[in-house]
Amino acid sequence: TLRMRVPALLVLLFCFRGSAGPSPHFLQQPEDLVVLLGEEARLRCALGAYWGLVQWTKSGLALGGQRDLPGWSRYWISGNAANGQHDLHIRPVELEDEASYECQATQAGLRSRPAQLHVLVPPEVPQVLGGPSVSLIAGVPVNLTCRSRGDARPTPELLWFRDGVRLDGTTFHQTLLKEGTPGSVESTLTLTPSSHDDGATLVCRARSQALPAGRDTTVTLSLQYPPEVTLSASPHTVQEGEKVTFLCQATAQPPVTGYRWAKGGSPVLGARGSRLEVVADASFLTEPVSCEVSNAVGSANRSTALDVLFGPILQAKPEPVSVDVGEDASFSCAWRGNPLPRVTWTRRGGAQVLGSGATLRLPSVGPEDAGDYVCRAEPGLSGQGGGAAEARLTVNAPPVVTALHSEPAFLRGPARLQCLVFASPAPDAVVWSWDEGFLEAGSRGRFLVETFPAPESRGGQGPGLISVLHISGTQESDFSRNFNCSARNWLGEGGARASLGCRDLLPTVRIVAGVAAATTTLLMVITEVTLCCWRHGKASASFSEQKNLMRIPGSSDGCSSPGPEEEETGSREDRGPIVHTDHSDLVLEEEGTLETKDPTNGYYKVRGVSPPASPDSCVTSLQWKSPGISNFP
């Protein structure tokens, strides 16, 4: 049987080999090979102890036993056959050459292990869609696509580079053909360009095992971007009132189409171009200057504030404060300046510094703290600015009553007393009182009360009131009693005493009498001179004999009645006229005659009068009469 024959044949073959020498064997078998499309492939095969026919098979198909392999124009076998060299060459390699190859010793029945030939296809040069120059807008995200077409084997990878540095942020996409074979591949780079990317060059590289160095294509970025603005001020630190130049510089693609200037958000009228000249003031410190530059793509804005040195400017005045006695009071004011001003507090009319800073606090105030307080800021380094602002502190307290000076009055004449009242809150009423009564307003008998606002108020003590007590027909008792002026509010009561003084007219009467005597003497002198001329010198002796001498003596105290001695002596020739007044003009009366020789035949007469004094009279009177002379006031 067949099973019995096979061992027998193996025994015979062994015996034959043993008698013939070494058996055929492979010295070198072909290895798997990777070769680029179009290049040469060489599969090595070497046999030992074999001098028979050698052939190659391609995927099981025999290529033939001849060395030049007729029918396979790109195939041939090389090597020294005597030495057992039987290498298979393929040039140029094509895609169809990718297969499994074996080296066979036909007569010896030897077959090598299969060797796989892999044909690699390098990728083509990739393309960037929209290249070689891509127009982009700065700040707008964009996708750049790199594509590689063809039957590249294996599928290539697409990489992005800039300045030799690989870029991230890419996505990969591969398109398959209908037959399932690889088609084109794409890589998308997502970026948001800026103006700095203008003119930049990006590289897309297609790389695979077939071409490790890869194939590159470049694309240039052409950026359109809104203006990039730089705003400067010269000088940046200035004194108020100095000139400043602003320079607005911009780079843009496409070019700049316009400039717009603003200050504090409000347009600067008449400002055009890239330069602006201004005169600095304090507002530039808080209201920046801005420059807006535009082109076809968009616009950009930059602003800057000046460091303006200026003196203090009042921003918030202190407000009036009203507090009750014992409470705390505080004032606040605000000044603006560069550098920051030093603020001090004083009291109006005083030099003592009570505090510094924006707030003044006065603990537990009393009536003496009422008044005007001044918030003051010193001028700046330039000497400009500064000033003061004040506010009043009103301390709510019981009324403060002060008796005002009143003119002395004449007995039986009119009189008035005054008091000044300051109170916060305002008093409910101002009342005058005396021994037998009181009066708030209106009239009562000989008394009348009027109250009206004072022309000026006393700082911090509330509005002032003046209350006047009118007395008609004064009596002696009015000069000896006290009159009380009092006022009350809800915090308490205050008052003051006032008294009425008696007026003495004697000094006035003396002046009037002296003037009258001088006038009379002057008239007499003029008359005598005239008579002397008329009498040719005779009148001189006659005039000297008839000359009448006058004397005006002093009087007693005008606030007391004349005594009996005064009445008796009042008719003596050495007594002069005595003054009396009842608030009317002086009247000339004749009640006694001073006997003299009158050279004018009685044209001028000088008469002394002593009217009887009434027991309740306050002063005496002077009565004087002369032809051609009216009453003397």
Residue with more model confidence, 329 or 436: 329
Strands 237-239 and 307-316: parallel
Residue 429 pLDDT grade (very low, low, confident, very high; cuts 50, 70, 90): confident
Q: Are 158 and 172 in contact (CB under 8 A)?
A: yes
Residue 168 pLDDT grade (very low, low, confident, very high; cuts 50, 70, 90): confident
Indicate if the pLDDT at residue 286 is higher than 50. yes
The reported pLDDT for the residue numbered 278 is 93
Residue 192 pLDDT grade (very low, low, confident, very high; cuts 50, 70, 90): confident
Q: How far is CA 75 from CA 29, 45, 72, 82, in A?
A: 18, 15, 5, 21
DSSP track, 345-396: EEETT---EEEESSEEEE-S--GGG-EEEEEEE---TTS---EEEEEEEEEE
Indicate if the pLDDT at residue 564 is higher than 50. no
The reported pLDDT for the residue numbered 480 is 87
Residue 213 pLDDT grade (very low, low, confident, very high; cuts 50, 70, 90): confident
The reported pLDDT for the residue numbered 214 is 84
Residue 519 pLDDT grade (very low, low, confident, very high; cuts 50, 70, 90): confident
Residue 175 — left, alpha, or beta (φ > 0 → left; ψ -120 to 50 → alpha)?
beta
Residue with more model confidence, 194 or 451: 451
pLDDT (tens digit per residue) in 520-533: 888 888 887 777 77
Q: Which residue reads 């020789």 in tokens?
A: 597
DSSP state of 132: S
Region 234-261: what's the mean pLDDT? Answer: 91
Residue 23 CA, chain-centre distance (Å), reads 109
Residue 576 pLDDT grade (very low, low, confident, very high; cuts 50, 70, 90): very low
Q: What is the 3-state secondary structure (H, E, C) of 171-184?
A: EEEEEECCCCCEEE
The reported pLDDT for the residue numbered 541 is 43
The reported pLDDT for the residue numbered 581 is 34
Q: Which CATH class is domain 311-396?
A: mainly beta
Choose the weakest-confidence range: 41-45, 136-140, 540-544: 540-544
SS3 at position 520: helix
Indicate if the pLDDT at residue 174 is higher than 70. no
Supply the mean pLDDT for the chain: 77
Region 223-242: what's the mean pLDDT? Answer: 90
Tell whether the torsion through CA atoms of 443, 449, 452 and 455 is positive or negative. Answer: positive
| CA 304 – CA 232 distance, rounded (Å) | 7
φ/ψ (deg, to 5) at 447: -110, 145
The reported pLDDT for the residue numbered 231 is 94
Cis peptide upstream of residue 92 (ω within 30 degrees of 0): yes
pLDDT (tens digit per residue) in 492-516: 888 999 988 888 765 555 666 677 7
Residue 212 pLDDT grade (very low, low, confident, very high; cuts 50, 70, 90): confident
Indicate if the pLDDT at residue 137 is higher than 80. yes
Choose the weakest-confidence range: 237-251, 403-417, 543-557: 543-557
pLDDT (tens digit per residue) in 19-30: 456 889 999 999
Percent of the chain with pLDDT over 90: 28
201 strand-pairing partners: 220
User: Tell me: domain 25-120, CATH 3.40.50.300, correct?
Assistant: no
Region 41-62: what's the mean pLDDT? Answer: 91
Could you tell me the two tokens for 523? 């008239």
Indicate if the pLDDT at residue 440 is higher than 70. yes
Residue 586 pLDDT grade (very low, low, confident, very high; cuts 50, 70, 90): very low
Q: For the domain 122-305, what is the CATH superfamily, name and number?
A: Immunoglobulins (2.60.40.10)
Could you tell me the two tokens for 540? 């001189």
Region 601-618: what's the mean pLDDT? Answer: 36
pLDDT (tens digit per residue) in 321-371: 999 988 999 999 999 888 888 899 999 888 899 999 999 999 999 888 888
Q: How far is CA 139 from CA 144, 170, 196, in A?
A: 15, 19, 11
Choose the weakest-confidence range: 149-153, 193-197, 522-526: 149-153
Q: Are 401 and 420 in contact (CB under 8 A)?
A: yes
Residue with more model confidence, 490 or 291: 291
The reported pLDDT for the residue numbered 505 is 61
DSSP track, 439-456: ESSEEETTEEEEEEE-SS
Choose the weakest-confidence range: 34-43, 82-91, 479-488, 497-506: 497-506
CATH number of 405-499: 2.60.40.10
Cis peptide upstream of residue 193 (ω within 30 degrees of 0): no
Q: Are 587 and 632 in contact (CB under 8 A)?
A: no
List every span in the chain annotated with CATH 2.60.40.10: 25-120, 122-305, 311-396, 405-499
Buried b (16+ CB within 10 A) or exposed e, 444-463: eeebbbebeeeeebebbbbb
DSSP state of 502: B
Residue 563 pLDDT grade (very low, low, confident, very high; cuts 50, 70, 90): very low
The reported pLDDT for the residue numbered 135 is 87
DSSP track, 407-420: --B-TTS-EEEEEE
Cα-Cα end-to-end distance for the chain: 192
